[in-house]
Amino acid sequence: MLRLRPILLGLLFMTSALAGCISDSQEGGEITLIVQYERTNGTILESYMDGSLISTTGSIIRFDFSQTISELEPVRFGIDFPDNGGEISVNPDERSTIDVEFTEHGVHDLVAYVMDVEGNQAFLPIVIRMDLRMEWTESGTYEPSPLTINPFPANGGTSASSILIDSIVENPDLIENIGGGRDVEITWKLVDEQEDACQNRNEVVGEGETVRWQTIHFNTFEIHELQVDYNEGQDLIDVYQTVIIQYPQLESIPNPK
C-alpha cells in the first residue's frame, strides 16, 4: 500500500486542481461539483505551561459548495474522512458551507461530495496538510521538565518531514535592575528512544541574559525528548521553547488559487 501512495496522491492532486467534478449518472441528473476553499494547510497549536499541556487550538478550513451545478435538486453536501470513517454533511436548503476543524497534525485525505434528490452523486478528493506547533513556557526552575516530541500522525499516514526547534533560556536578574546573581551552565539535548543524544549544545547564560538554540532534526520516526539540563549555578531560570513538526507539502491547490 505504501508503494501506491505517490500514485494515489498524484491522482488526488490532478483531480482536486480541477474547478469541479462531473457526476457520471446514467439516469440524467448531471452534477458539476464545485467546492471552493481558500487554503489547504494550517497549523495546530499546543500550549504548555510549566510542563503541562494547557490548551490545544485547532485549525479551521471552510469548504463552500455554493457554486455547484445540479440538474436535479441537491439534498446533501458533505465531507467524508476516509482516515477515520467520519463524515460531516449539511442540507443545501439550510447552508452551503462546511467548516472542518483539524485538531490532529498530519496529511489528511478528504472527499467532498454532493447528492441530488435521485441519489446521483459527484465526488472531489482534497488533501489537507496540518503541521503542529508546540509553545512551551517554564518559569523559575532549577530542573526544567523534558518536552516530549511525538512526530507520529494519529491517522497513520504520511510521516512528518522535519522537526524545527527554537529554545531560549533566560537567567533573570536576581533583584530587578540591581542584579546580584551568577552565571548558569546548561546543556540542551535532543534525546531519542534509546536515550542517546542526537544533538546537544552547551551554553553559559549570565545574569540578566538569554541564550538560544535553533536546530532542525530529520528523524521523524521516533519519539524524542527536548531536555534542558541545569549543570551548574544558583539562579532560577526561565525556558521558552517552540517546536514545529512539519509535513511534506502534498496538499491540494486552493480553489480559487
Among the listed residues 142, 88, 134, the one whose alpha carbon sits nearest the alpha carbon of residue 111:
88
Query: For 2-39+59-126, which CATH class?
Result: mainly beta
200-243 confidence digits (pLDDT tens): 999 999 999 999 999 999 999 999 999 999 999 999 999 999 99
- Comparing 7 with 154, the larger pLDDT belongs to 154
Neighbours of 74 (CB within 10 A): 24
**Res. 4: pLDDT tops 80:** no
Amino acid (one-letter) located at 33: L
Residues in the chain: 257
Q: Is the pLDDT of residue 18 over 90?
A: no
Distance CA 96, CA 238 (A): 49
Same fold, 2-39+59-126 and 131-246: no
- Bond preceding residue 256 cis, omega within 30 of 0: yes
pLDDT in tens, 169-195: 999 987 664 556 799 999 999 999 999
Kindly report, residue by residue over 93-134, the tens digit of the pLDDT. Answer: 999 999 999 999 999 999 999 999 999 999 999 999 999 999
H-helix or E-strand spanning residue 14? helix 5-16
- The whole-number pLDDT of residue 83 equals 82
Query: What is the rounded distance in angstroms from the CA atom of residue 10 to the CA atom of residue 13?
Result: 5
Q: Per-residue pLDDT tens for 29-77? A: 799 999 999 999 999 999 999 999 999 999 999 999 999 999 999 999 9
Question: What pLDDT band is residue 23 in, cutting at 50, 70 and 90?
Answer: low
What is the domain partition of the chain in residue ranges?
Answer: 2-39+59-126, 131-246
**Topology of domain 131-246, CATH:** Jelly Rolls (2.60.120)
Rounded-to-10 torsion of CA 228, 229, 231, 237: 40
